[in-house]
Structure 1
Amino acid sequence: MVDRPVMMVTGAGRGIGAATARLAAARGHDLLLTWRGAQAAAAATAEACRASGAAVELVQADAGDPAATAAAFGRLDARFGRIDALVVNAGITGPASDFLTSSDATWAEVFRVNVLGLASACRQAAQRMATSRGGAGGGIVAVSSRAAQIGSAFEFVHYAASKGAVDSLVLGLARELGGEGIRVNAVAPGMIDTDIHASAGIPERIGRIVPGIPLRRMGSPEEVAECILFLLSPQAAYVNGAVLPVGGGR
């Protein structure tokens, strides 16, 4: 019997993370899923994955806490003893504000989760995947954002800056880890139909921005998940260091 590949998805309770977990389970992966605050949603995601035949380990973890990240990887080691793919999806926008009224606390928290937390998860995965350390290689996909290129002026410059750092990190890791059998890529979603805008306190933002998207609609979490699974698939075996826009042309 061939072992099922093992994928870890951070922030898997809702939105893109949940859609990615469900699609990965349907395509034959076992999963370790992390969540921070959406316990019921995370449990529902895990049950849907199990219904598709996946073995699932569900772990509560603050993505910006290196100790919590290390503990989650410890759970992965104990349950599965391997990791083939990491999807670093967990992230926060911080509150919407213009730059002049944004706070140092907001900048620190957004970078703590979106940049430092992502780097910590990538390091933990790469240490296990690296062929020089006895690993079998693997794939990492970071969930970035079109905000990194758009800038999100007057609303989310802090978030856009953090995702710009993610894009740079992906490129650096792709070049450093490629020789270890590890491909590192990112997806950069645009306006996706999740609760991220309502959570940031500006649900009306959707109505303002959608008319300016060339495809005249939001994307779905499932559409982003398809791109993530592609980047982790053998069909993308020569794709490394890419940041794939998933923004409808915006």
Structure 2
Amino acid sequence: MAPVTVITGGGRGIGAATARRLATAGHHIALCYRRDDTAAAAVLADLHAAGAQAVAVRADTTDPDQVAALFDAAAQLGPLTGLVNNAGVTSRIGPFTELRVDDLRRVVDVNLIGYVLCAQQAARRLTDGGAIVNVSSAAATLGSPGEYVHYAAVKAATDTLTVGLSKELAPRGIRVNAVAPGLVRTDIHADSGVPDRADSAAGRIPMGRAGEPDEIAAAIAWLLGPDASYATGTVLRVSGGL
């Protein structure tokens, strides 16, 4: 029986790359996206071309009813085996003193509350051998001073969620890990007001370049798969040395 994986934030960037990689590896995919129908349709076409059964579900991961509907849609593909918690947002780069409350609430809602709601649904449905991978960030330990300290703080919460949930679910044979990317070449930088940040900030990375979504997807796929059968509660840093 093929694995069935829910991927949030699947219409672009790391989520889309992960969906394509997992489809090639034989997963059936429930692809969750927020608003870009065209992008989600393009990813879905690629998944079908790879031979996967897949559905694209437009859902707001901060809404518990929409999250439940997402996982119900995934159940039509078969018993759930995995979740990639990836849907995320930033806000404009700037000093901490200029942070707006509405931006703070949005970052917390999507990057923390959304992760919790999706993980909760997955925990209710996964059985022995299931796995959750949360997409965190190297910012969780770097702090992102002068850029978005609040985003870094929320990603630190992702790491704590990963550790705590891994211990709670381990007796049921369910693994929970996280991947912490560094600077990656995705569209998320447009949200920060610096769309070329992957290139402009590359000088601070020891490897001298930004990462590619496929490089993060490879780590996620490993953590979901049988080769990582003894890994749980781990935050795997994939950051070019940051």
Question: Do both share a fold (TM > 0.5)?
Answer: yes
SS in 1 for 2:55: strand
Q: Percent identity?
A: 46
Q: Normalized against structure 2, the TM-score is what? A: 0.97
The answer to whether structure 1 residue 104 and structure 2 residue 113 are counterparts is no
Aligned residues: 242
Contact 2:23 2:51 in 1 (8 A): yes
Equivalent position to 1:40, from 15, 38, 53:
38
| Structure 2: gaps (5+ residues) | none
CA–CA separation in structure 2 for the residues paired with 1:205 and 1:75? 36
Equivalent position to 1:146, from 121, 134, 138:
138
Equivalent position to 1:120, from 105, 108, 117:
117
SS in 2 for 1:249: coil
The corresponding residue for 1:24 is: 22
Equivalent position to 1:63, from 61, 64, 68:
61
Displacement of 1:199 in angstroms is: 2.7
Displacement of 1:204 in angstroms is: 4.4
Equivalent position to 2:188, from 182, 189, 196:
196
CA–CA separation in structure 1 for the residues paired with 2:179 and 2:196? 25
| Structure 1: gaps (5+ residues) | 130-134
The corresponding residue for 1:95 is: 92
Range 193-202 or range 217-226, more displaced: 193-202
SS in 2 for 1:7: strand
The corresponding residue for 1:186 is: 178
Displacement of 1:155 in angstroms is: 1.3
The corresponding residue for 2:224 is: 232
Equivalent position to 1:51, from 49, 52, 66:
49
Q: Normalized against structure 1, the TM-score is what? A: 0.94
SS in 1 for 2:201: helix
Displacement of 1:142 in angstroms is: 0.4
Cα separation, partners in 2 of 1:137 and 1:237, compared to 1, 3 Å: closer
Displacement of 1:94 in angstroms is: 2.0
SS in 1 for 2:115: helix
Residues 56-79 of structure 1: per-residue CA shift (max 9 Å, x gap): 0110001221111111111122x1
The answer to whether structure 1 residue 213 and structure 2 residue 210 are counterparts is no
Cα separation, partners in 2 of 1:204 and 1:44, compared to 1, 3 Å: closer
Runs of 4+ residues deviating >4 angstroms: none
CA–CA separation in structure 2 for the residues paired with 1:76 and 1:168? 27
Displacement of 1:80 in angstroms is: 2.1
Equivalent position to 1:82, from 75, 79, 82:
79
